[in-house]
Structure 1
Amino acid sequence: MKRFFCLLVSLALLAGVAACGSAAKTTPTIRVGVALYQQDDTFISTVVQHLQQLALEEEQARHIKINLRIADGRGSQSVQNEQVDRFLDLGCDVICVNLVDRTAAAVIIDKAQAANVPVIFFNREPVVEDLRRWQHAYYVGSPGKQAGRLQGGIVLDAWQAESSDIDRNGDGVLQYVMLEGEPGHQDALLRTEYAIRTLTQAGVATEKLASDAVNWQRGKANIRMRQWLQEFGDGIEAVFANNDDMALGAIDACMAAGMSPEALPFIVGVDATPPALETLADGTLQGTVRNDAAGQAAGMLGLISALTQGQDPAGTVELTDRKYVWLEYTTVTRDNLAAFQQP
């Protein structure tokens, strides 16, 4: 019996040592919920890819584990709200939200605040009053006005260099169509307004033939552009698209109509997605404006890293009004395309 008792004690001690050793080797884990308005959006999927890659690099550098839970809202705010609830129930340390409806941020902020979980919005800017509801609500993105100005600047530069290349009917007026993102979306409104304002302020006369909101989607832009080509034909001298996917949809329609690359209207987009850069290289897209997907991912990860370590985020990322991480847009044309292509 004494031997049996001693054996039990020895086994218990060994088990205790093993358990302590296992606990000492447990890898610290950061749990992050990422809610997307629509995962098949080309730009948003690019941001997520960068975030996943940067998280992997952060894991290796800090010897930690970063669990990214990605959820597709499929264009429904109610679905996205349920996904946020799920993230909070799972004990996520931070949630990142690409809003379906920018006016719905207050509901998500209140949920996050009640759970004391920081929330980082990205690419779709909440109303400023909502973002101020809680100290640990942040936004990572780029200013919509700048995208519009730069897009308009691409067309302006081409017009001033040789207006006859765009002004096909020689009337001194730029006839254009506008493919908009979605009704009420702040970036869509600002990109639309400031692209044209840039031209008119420089003295270029413009005439809008048509415009429509096709929800950032290539397929819908293709359908709308086909209709416009039937209605206006060669009268369309320029196509402004609030994002590259819609610009590519316009190009699809033109090519399906049998137009040669040289006969296409002057088409410009926003985002500088990989597919857009390919069409820029082949001459069908005339220019785009880089929306910094890698920078947005880095801004989010910087906030995540600081917040989960109890640090002041301002020491990790550049914050404006202690709320905003702003990334600059950049003009991309064939002249500087090589700098933005993958090596």
Structure 2
Amino acid sequence: VKDYADNLRKLAAEKGVELNLQDAQGDVARQLDQLNTLITQGYKYFVIIPQDTSATEQMAQQIKAAGGGASFSNIQPSVEALKVGKDFYLASSPELVAGQYQAQIIDEYFTKYPAKAPNKVLNILYLQGQLGHPAQISREAGLIDTLKSLGYTVNFIARDTADWSPDKAQEKMDTWLAAHSGKFNLVVAQNDGMALGAVESLITNGLVDNDPSDGTILTFPVIGIDATADALNSMDQNKLYATVLQDSVGQSSTAFELAYEMATKGTATGMTAWGIAPAKEVISEAPANDAAVIGQCYLVPFKPVTKANYKDLM
């Protein structure tokens, strides 16, 4: 989120736009209060990272009543929110794809080192984000469905939320390692923060072979999502095996351009934002699964990050 906000500041400065950044700190009630205050102050066009998808229709209704529009980004709005009007957009990345890319990275690893997963059996320690969060649900579905389609047997030796937190992930991993020693061959986390917490736990508990020939000095590969600077540094040290880029610059740039077009030209309908055209075909993930709003959906691609390309992002 910091990278997202920093890029918004940069874009606003370049365009000479007044930018009012608010942090809801994960609290949807706080976010709704902030929105009400901003509308009262005369703000009409918004870039919103919603704290709760179920609140986005209410947000859109309030903004429409004020004669404005919004780009919902990073966390998906509901289909109903986009149906409030043509001045409401999705500028985000399909979370299902992040899980699919994790599965592809896993497949490449175990195809190269089949002895580490005999008979294509994966015994996974899986760190989830906030339960019920759209990213938690879709990233998990993408991972499982793709691994099964690639012929793997997927066993979750342990699976629980660490709420996106490195510290909670490390604590949970410490507990799991004590309970499940020798029973797993892979660690997957739904974001890099938790993945790095898992890395620290493995190191602290001595699960290090110091052989980087497979891309990691850890006994088991750890895979995250986000491609944060800390994650890339960990990859450079042969600790974290791989991650998936969630393009905060791409998401924030697309969302900002849509809001800017609405504010300066009255509409952003059909425009290309940050080089991304509105989607034309529905996908399985809401809100881009509804043909009625597909033209309001700008899908910023995820990208797998491995030893082959991680330095390009550093």
| TM-score above 0.5 | yes
Q: 1:74 and 2:25 equivalent?
A: yes
2:278 corresponds to: 319
For residues 118 and 299 of structure 1, the distance between their equivalents in structure 2, rounded to whole angstroms, comes to 14
Confirm or deny: 8 A CA contact 2:44 2:66 kept in the other structure.
no
Tell me by how many angstroms 1:268 deviates.
Answer: 0.5
Residues of 2 paired with 1:98 and 1:254: CA distance? 33
1:147 is displaced (CA, Å) by: 0.8
Residues 71 and 256 of structure 2 are in contact (CA less than 8 Å); yes or no, is this contact kept in structure 1? no
Q: Distance in 1 between matches of 2:53 and 2:264?
A: 29
User: Given the alignment, which residue of 289, 298, 301 partners 2:244?
Assistant: 289
* Distance in 2 separating the partners of 1:287 and 1:339: 14
Which deviates more, 196-205 or 153-162? 196-205
* SS of match in other structure, 2:68: coil
The 2-side partners of 1:329 and 1:299 are apart by: 14
1:47 is aligned to 2:20: no
Separation of aligned partners in 2, 1:123 and 1:101: 12
CA drift of 1:311 comes to 4.6
* Whole-angstrom distance in 2 between the partners of 1:172 and 1:194: 18
* Partner residue in 1 for 2:147: 199
Question: Is the alpha carbon distance of 1:172 and 1:136 closer, same or farther for their aligned partners in structure 2, counting shifts above 3 Å?
Answer: closer
Distance in 1 between the 2:165 and 2:232 partners? 17
Please show how residues 85-104 of structure 1 align to structure 2 within 5 Å.
85-104=36-55
Aligned partner of 1:263 in structure 2 is: 218
Amino acid at match of 2:5: V
Alpha-carbon shift at residue 297 of structure 1 (Å): 1.5
1:116 to 2:67 alignment: yes
Which residue matches 2:303? Answer: 330
- In the alignment, residue 14 of structure 2 is paired with which amino acid? E
Query: Quick one: which amino acid aligns to residue 311 of structure 2?
Result: A
Whether 2:250 is the aligned partner of 1:299: answer no
Residues 1:50 and 1:234: Cα distance change in structure 2 (over 3 Å)? farther
- Contact kept? 2:47, 2:256, Cα under 8 Å: no
Gaps of 5+ in 1: 1-43, 59-64
Higher-Rg member (1/2)? 1
* Amino acid in the other structure paired with 1:121: F
Per-residue deviation, residues 245-287 of structure 1 (Å, max 9, x unmatched)? 1111111222222332533421101111111111111111111
Q: Which runs of at least 4 in structure 1 moved beyond 3 Å after TM superposition?
A: none
Q: Is the contact made by 2:93 and 2:246 (CA closer than 8 Å) also made in structure 1?
A: yes
- Identity among equivalent positions (%) equals 25
Q: Which has the higher helix share?
A: 1
Q: Which residues in structure 2 correspond to 1:17-28 (within 5 Å)?
A: none
State the match for 1:6 in structure 2: none
Residue 156 (structure 1) shift? 0.5
Gaps of 5+ in 2: 211-216, 280-293
Q: Residue in 2 aligned with 1:228? A: 176
Deviation of the 1:121 alpha carbon: 0.9
Q: Which amino acid aligns with 1:207?
A: N
Instruction: State the Cα distance separating 1:236 from its structure 2 match.
Output: 2.4
